[in-house]
Amino acid sequence: MLDTVVKTTCPRDCYDACGISVVVRDGAIHKVKGDPDHHVTRGKLCQKCAIAYNGAFLDEGQRVAFPLKRIGPKGEGQFQAVSWETAFDDISRRLQVILAGHDARSIIHTHYTGTVSMIAGWFPIRFFNRLGATEVDPDTICNKAGHVVLEHMFGTSLTGFDPRQLRDAKSLLVWGGNPSATAPHMHDDWIRSESVPLIVIDPIAHETAQDADLHLQLKPGSDAALAFGMLHVMAREGALDREFLDAHTVGFELVMPAIEAATPEVTEAKTGVPAALIEEAALLFASGPSLLWLGQGMQRQPRGGNAFRAAVLLSVATGYLGQAGAGFCYMNGAETRGVDDEFLSGPELRKDGGASISHIDLAATLSHPARATALFTWNNNVLASSPAQDKLREALAREDLFTVVVDLFRTDTAAYADYVLPAASFFEFDDLVFPYFNNTMSAQAKAVEPVGEALPNQEIFRRLSLAMGFTEPQLYESDVAMLRRLIAQTSFEGSFDDLKAAGTVELCEPLIQFEELNFATPSGKIEVACESLAEMGQPLVPEAHADQAPEAGWLRVLSPASPWLMNSTYCNDAKIQSRLGTPKVFLAETELARRGLKHGDQVILRNATGALRLEASLSGDVPEGVALVHKGRWLGSSHKDANVNVLNAGLKADVADSTAVHGVLAELVRA
């Protein structure tokens, strides 16, 4: 028995992008571990991946191993294995019939970050561009509002601070993110290890907040008001850098009246954060260059765009931007490593300028026979993740909606497919990962042959292109060629094989965000007053807004990430399920007492959109007025086949039709 160890990279949608050691024995995966040489992972995977990569991911019984054709009613999950040839013949024939009678845009495709590896994540879009299908705008389910706002203000949302700047920072402010769950290694080994004071702004006292020197436990949706309150303190103490603001921003003077009005007392009343804490946090952040981590959870609120515009002013107003130890980070795209990855999705194959809808409108669109004749879903489990769950389920049950799901597992969404196509897992093909926090590059290396007849996404869509008779060469570009094109744009001088041997490589010295203070905006400056956002119907400058408190008896439902799941991925792993236990709602003691409830009672969260049965769990981390229900449960794990998205009618944020899922309101009653 000779073991070989393959270095590869975790391609989940996670800040950490861990290095993995796969122990291969007799051609099969024997054990999956953290790569001891990896700078982030240091030999230890997160708890969820340590379980699932040695559990559901290796369990052939759980994997979709062959193309599956539906043989029962939609939703019942009865399938028959068929050959790839049969599947491609049938799918292409069905598509040709649709194209003969309908607009190609009635073919809808949804995708997101089931894998963030470059080719499996982006190449399939070439097929849909050629087809002329409607794309469900991927970021609208996650972080679009934040991206759009930062692009308009700074010219990019994809160049953030380099984490290596922490050593020069006077403080780190984590705003509306929960690294303890969503970036566990950065939490343990970066936030905790450097002795930089930590400020957290979050309604929940999660583990990162508990580690903080200052936790500002604001009311959900009051972020913009809090930002203005902190700016007020900075202005009062002379900590605003007027010279910087004059030279590099447009319209800062237009927010000054609102800053002046946002006294600590006014801000305390709007946000629930004690005035003294607002003062302390503002002065700490302004005491020198500081880093601002803009969480994705924060912009998922009704005025998430405005909240983001206000929060990021902290990094602007102090004037340290462009210096070591300063800057904000939403995420770092491949652009920080010099890579333009647009070619991967083949925009030139699109002949009609494109068509897209928001994820938030998915259920409504699919309900319309004329607007939706077919659905392709890949890298995405919409029934678990998208809003309007009941309506979406009804739409997916339409006999005349031809549905193809590409996945590793038989998800809730897959149960409604006419065809489920088996995707290869990241252990089974080569690809590339550009981590979205650290400015590195990593190989995803094939360790074993795919299970059954599974294929990587890219190969599935190459073969479907062939079945469709498409002739454009871009549809057939090889992985080897694309890997080479990506690597060639970076400073790495080796080949993909060299990268595989290394696992992960650093590509640059610690970068300083906006070091040149050049901004790719119409004015070339930071657009505090932003005409282009105003043209989209936004206020010209951000406002000191705070959401109204819910009516008496109503709770704000926050549904952020679970430390045990990756969105809905891993929920089919038996060990993960036992860690999760029954679906729970976490509540403050006062909210239980008010309703005569106690820890462990069965309760129902309900509103006009839906109802969800849960076990009430007392938590000191959750403030009054909030019900915390983690996202990502598979529907079958609850009564009546539902998860928290059954309560979300499809709330949109103020910007870009992006999700406002953390604005959902519900009542709580005994079951």
Q: Is 302 in the site for ligand MGD (CB under 6 A)?
A: no
Least CB distance to ligand SF4 at residue 16 (A): 4
Least CB distance to ligand SF4 at residue 572 (A): 16
CA 635 to chain centroid, in Å, comes to: 20
User: Which one of 104, 225, 408, 616 is in contact with ligand MGD (CB under 6 A)?
Assistant: 408
Is residue 135 within 8 Å of residue 163, measured between CB atoms?
no
Nearer to ligand SF4, 156 or 567 (CB): 567
For residues 545 to 564, the per-residue mask of contacts with ligand MGD, x marking binding by CB under 6 A and - elsewhere, is -------------xxxxxx-
Least CB distance to Mo ion at residue 296 (A): 6
Nearer to ligand SF4, 23 or 665 (CB): 23
Is residue 437 within 8 Å of residue 336, measured between CB atoms?
no
Least CB distance to ligand SF4 at residue 625 (A): 31
16 binds, among Mo ion, ligand SF4, ligand MGD, none (CB under 5 to 8 A by kind): ligand SF4
CA 290 to chain centroid, in Å, comes to: 25
Nearer to ligand SF4, 35 or 268 (CB): 35
Check residue 97 and report its DSSP letter: H
49 binds, among ligand SF4, Mo ion, ligand MGD, none (CB under 5 to 8 A by kind): ligand SF4
Q: Is 176 in the site for ligand MGD (CB under 6 A)?
A: yes
User: Which one of 8, 106, 318, 385 is in contact with ligand MGD (CB under 6 A)?
Assistant: 385
Nearer to ligand MGD, 245 or 655 (CB): 655
Is residue 16 within 8 Å of residue 185, measured between CB atoms?
yes
Q: Is 163 in the site for ligand MGD (CB under 6 A)?
A: no
Scanning 20-28, 265-273, 407-415, 493-501 for contacts with ligand MGD by CB under 6 A, the matching segment is 407-415
Closest CA to 172 of 289, 68, 67, 283: 289
Touching ligand MGD, residues 203-222 (CB under 6 A):
203-204, 206, 220-221
Is residue 192 within 8 Å of residue 184, measured between CB atoms?
no
603 binds, among Mo ion, ligand MGD, ligand SF4, none (CB under 5 to 8 A by kind): none
Q: Is 142 in the site for Mo ion (CB under 5 A)?
A: yes
Using CA atoms, how far apart are residues 65 and 419, in angstroms rounded to an integer?
Answer: 13
Side-chain-side CA neighbours of residue 88 (13 Å) = 15
For residues 565 to 594, the per-residue mask of contacts with ligand MGD, x marking binding by CB under 6 A and - elsewhere, is xxxxx-------------------------
Nearer to Mo ion, 181 or 420 (CB): 181
Scanning 125-133, 380-388, 474-482, 607-615 for contacts with ligand MGD by CB under 6 A, the matching segment is 380-388
Q: Is 118 in the site for ligand MGD (CB under 6 A)?
A: no
Listed in sequence order, the DSSP H helices in 360-478 are 362-366, 382-385, 389-396, 457-468
Distance, first Cα to last Cα, the chain: 56
Indicate the residue type of 350: R
Q: Which residues of 477-510 are buried (b: 16+ CB within 10 A; e: fewer)?
A: bebeebbeebbeebebeeebeebbebbbbebeeb
Least CB distance to ligand SF4 at residue 307 (A): 26
Write the burial class of residue 61 (CB in 10 Å: 0-12 exposed, 13-18 middle, 19+ buried): exposed
Residue tagged 């571990």 (tokens): 33
Using CA atoms, how far apart are residues 644 and 661, in angstroms rounded to an integer?
Answer: 10
Scanning 52-60, 140-148, 281-289, 500-508 for contacts with Mo ion by CB under 5 A, the matching segment is 140-148
Q: Is 306 in the site for ligand MGD (CB under 6 A)?
A: no
Nearer to Mo ion, 142 or 395 (CB): 142
**Number of neighbouring beta carbons within 10 Å of residue 471:** 10
**Number of neighbouring beta carbons within 10 Å of residue 343:** 17
Structure tokens at 334: 């491949």
Q: DSSP string spanning 26-58?
A: TTEEEEEEE-TT-TTTTT---HHHHHHTTTGGG
Which residues are at the interface with ligand SF4 (CB under 6 A)? Answer: 10, 12, 14, 16-18, 45-46, 49, 184-185, 566
Residues contributing to the site for ligand MGD (CB under 6 A): 13-14, 112-115, 120, 141-143, 175-178, 181-182, 201-204, 206, 220-221, 223, 295-298, 300-301, 378-381, 384-385, 406-409, 411, 423, 457, 558-563, 565-569, 631-632, 644-645, 661-662
Residues contributing to the site for Mo ion (CB under 5 A): 142
